[in-house]
């Protein structure tokens, strides 16, 4: 088990929190796009990027826990935001998702499923066993 992080040796790769690629050697947990929904289904912090980022991290942890996985084993992140500038200001709120230097994509889109949502994150996690 484990992942092999792929680097090309380009200097900029050391300055970013993600890797250009990862070779996974185990089973993968593909998690649906996670939003800032609270247990009752309402959105935490409507239109508030930081509150939503924090809630999304918790929701990802909850899915990982339910599957017997760890956010420390994330190998891929796809991040959708409706406001790239606001996301940059709240980026530190999701830094723990980058502990394993996953491959990552960040995309600004016009809208998400609810007008109150400003962020959605879709992780892929390598299972420990």
- Domain residues for 118? 3-126
CATH number, domain with residue 67: 3.30.1330.40
Instruction: Say yes or no to pLDDT of 14 above 90.
Output: no
Determine the average pLDDT of the residues in 62-70.
92
Q: How many domains does the chain have?
A: 1
CA 92, CA 17: separation in Å to the nearest integer? 11
Determine the average pLDDT of the residues in 63-77.
93
User: Average per-residue pLDDT in the chain?
Assistant: 91
Q: What is the 3-state secondary structure (H, E, C) of 76-123?
A: EEEEEECCHHHHHHHHHHHHHHHCCCCEEEEEECCCCCCCCCCEEEEE
For the whole model, what pTM was predicted? 0.86
Instruction: Say yes or no to pLDDT of 111 above 80.
Output: yes
pLDDT band at 3 (very low <50, low <70, confident <90, very high): low
Determine the average pLDDT of the residues in 29-51.
95
């Amino acid at each position: 088990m484990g992942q092999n992080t792929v680097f090309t040796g380009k200097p900029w790769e050391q300055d970013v929190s993600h890797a250009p690629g990862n070779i996974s050697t185990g089973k993968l947990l593909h998690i649906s796009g996670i939003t800032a929904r609270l247990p009752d289904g309402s959105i935490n912090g409507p239109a508030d990027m930081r509150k939503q980022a924090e809630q999304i991290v918790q929701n990802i942890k909850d899915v990982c826990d339910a599957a017997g996985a760890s956010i420390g084993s994330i190998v891929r992140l796809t991040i959708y935001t409706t406001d790239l500038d606001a996301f940059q200001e709240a980026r530190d709120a999701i830094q723990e998702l980058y502990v394993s230097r996953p491959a990552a994509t960040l995309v600004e889109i016009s809208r998400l499923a609810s007008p109150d949502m400003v962020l959605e994150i879709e992780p892929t996690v390598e299972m420990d066993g």
